[in-house]
Amino acid sequence: MPPTETENPESNQLRCPWPGINDPIYTRYHDEEWGVPKTDSIALFEKLILEGFQSGLSWLTILKKRDNFRAAFHGFAPKRIARYTDKDVARLMNDAGIVRNRLKINATIDNAKAMLALSTHTSLSDFLWGFIDGRPIINRAKAFKDVPSQTELSKTISKALKKEGFRFIGPTTVYAFMQSTGMVNDHLISCPQHAACAKLQRTLPKTHNV
């Protein structure tokens, strides 16, 4: 069944028509996180990894396991993850609280190493936000069908990340990452969060923290 518009009972306006949006966890994520600009490199790294794990699954599944992911991957600290051994991989493969996919777990270790290598000359935040000169893209989609799953820019960023050694970061994954971290505002124009996120995006400082 195609997604339908879901009324926000608190604001009497329409939320974005995501499947499962009435789940309290998903509602809170939509209202408080999705599209809010994130510039902290560790937060961006976490989001990049979780978007990779989400591939083939619903984001709601990942949200429900997010705290478990954070505990299992030591708060997504790149220096810690980069030192993971086969013992850590085995531990993660036995952890029912996360998505147990060996390829994605190994990719996470490689991505931590890639982030550390990148950090010798720039931060992950500056690297990613540099593609849009620190200025979020504010779209004005009226319907769910008008929101793309990938763009030429997400293809460019995907290629650049792969060149730096990152894995499981195809253009669709990258675009979902851009939407969730506020690099792009893809809340529908009818959604109250479109204006709220746009306000934050327009006042975002161009200098970001590592």
Residues 6+ apart with CB under 8 A from 12: none
51: annotated active-site residue: yes
29: annotated active-site residue: yes
The single-letter code of the amino acid at 18 is: W
Q: Count other C-beta atoms under 10 Å from residue 68's C-beta.
A: 14
Catalytic residue among 18, 59, 84, 175: 59
CA distance 138 to 199: 10
Catalytic residue among 18, 29, 84, 175: 29
For residue 186, what is the DSSP state?
-
Catalytic residue among 26, 34, 46, 51: 51
Cα torsion 177, 103, 60, 209: sign: negative
CA distance 34 to 77: 22
The single-letter code of the amino acid at 13 is: Q
Tokens representing residue 167 in the block: 């894995």
For residue 167, what is the DSSP state?
-
Residues 6+ apart with CB under 8 A from 23: 60
CA distance 194 to 83: 40
Q: Catalytic residues, which ones?
A: 29, 51, 59
